[in-house]
Amino acid sequence: MQQEQSSGSAATEKMGQATDVISARTSDAVEQGRGAVERQVGQRSAQLGSQIGAASHTIRQVADQARIDGNDQQARLAEEAANRADRVSNYLGEVDPERLMADAEDFARRQPWLVAGVGLIAGFALARSLKASSGRRSARLYTSVNSPAYGDMSRQSSVYGGNGMTNAVGEPSRES
């Protein structure tokens, strides 16, 4: 009886050790994944910040041209848009990736319907894009230089010989 208890406690101890090892490895994997995501967010946000900065510069040029043309109201609107773009560009360039993700989470919690709407619109746009490109892809896949397009019977021969043209009863047409 005592031998069974000692073997049971040894098994329990081994299970505990295995659980600890698995837990430690899981934590390491999660930390590695989190680090990779933070690096990607940092790189992408810096790229986006520089692109927005370039757009801001272009918007300022538009504002200057509008002023020259005498469109002061349009120039003020463009200048305001450029100022906002500069603020976003600076934020994205300077923010810590962890802080950026926390800010995005906070925004999503405060404005869930806006985030859902943006996701819905992005999903529709992606679906339309994929649908449009699939038509071109399938057309390319199913047609080639030597074979006719799907449904094109003009270059196929029939069992009767000739160009494949038949009348309503399936007899060869006499047009050829």
Residue 131 domain flag: yes
Residues 82 and 119 in one domain: no
Report d(CA 24, CA 125) in Å as an integer. 42
37/117 same-domain check: no
Domain match, 71 and 46 both: yes
Q: What CA–CA distance (Å, rounded) separates 165 from 176? A: 8
Which residues face 172 on adjacent strands? 166
What does the pLDDT look like over 54-88, one tens digit per residue?
A: 999 999 999 999 999 999 999 999 999 999 999 99
**Which residues form the domain of 78?**
2-96
**Residues 13 and 70 occupy one common structural domain:** yes
- The helix/strand count (H/E) of the chain reads as 4, 0
In this structure, is residue 170 part of a structural domain? no
The number of domains in the chain is 2
- pTM of the shown model: 0.52
pLDDT in tens, 31-51: 888 788 888 888 888 899 999
Residue 14 sits in the same domain as residue 40: yes
Position 172 scores a pLDDT of 54
- Which residues on neighbouring strands pair with residue 120, listed in sequence order? none
Looking at the structure, do residues 85 and 119 belong to the same domain, yes or no? no
Structural domain includes residue 129? yes
In a domain, 31, yes or no: yes
Q: What angle do CA 97, 95, 56 make, to 5 degrees?
A: 120
Other CB atoms within 10 Å distance of the CB of residue 56 = 20
Question: Residue 125 falls within a domain, yes or no?
Answer: yes
